[in-house]
Amino acid sequence: MRAIVYTWSSCSFCTRAKELLERAGIPYREVVLDGKKDELRRLQEVFGARTMPLVLLDGERVAGLEALEQALGGEPGVG
């Protein structure tokens, strides 16, 4: 399994998402969207994402920290 994580540098949820992926041993590539309004708008159109982080696990959209926790088999807010 591989991941792409779209983040904002000041987003605490984004930081937690990266920590979850690291603990799960899932390699990821981070794309920081600070100041990249066009790229953010494109991602919102393609994936319907309205929250950060936006995580793609093997190309499938997982939007938000709670959704990532669930996708990795954990309970939201635990850990």
Residue 76 lies in a domain: no
Per-residue model confidence (pLDDT) at position 79: 43
Residue 23 lies in a domain: yes
Residue 62 lies in a domain: yes
For residue 7, what are the β-bridge partners?
32
DSSP string, 23-64: HTT--EEEEE-TT-HHHHHHHHHHH---SS-EEEETTEEEES
DSSP reduced 3-state for 78 = coil
pLDDT band for position 78 (cuts 50, 70, 90): very low
The CATH number of the domain holding residue 16 is 3.40.30.10
Rg of the Cα trace of the chain?
Answer: 12
Q: Residues 7-63: pLDDT tens digits?
A: 999 999 999 999 999 999 999 999 999 999 999 899 889 888 778 899 999 989 988
Residue whose tokens read 């996708």: 71
Which residues constitute the domain of residue 61?
Answer: 3-71
| Domain count along the chain | 1
Q: Which amino acid is at 55?
A: V
Residue 78 lies in a domain: no
Residue 37 lies in a domain: yes
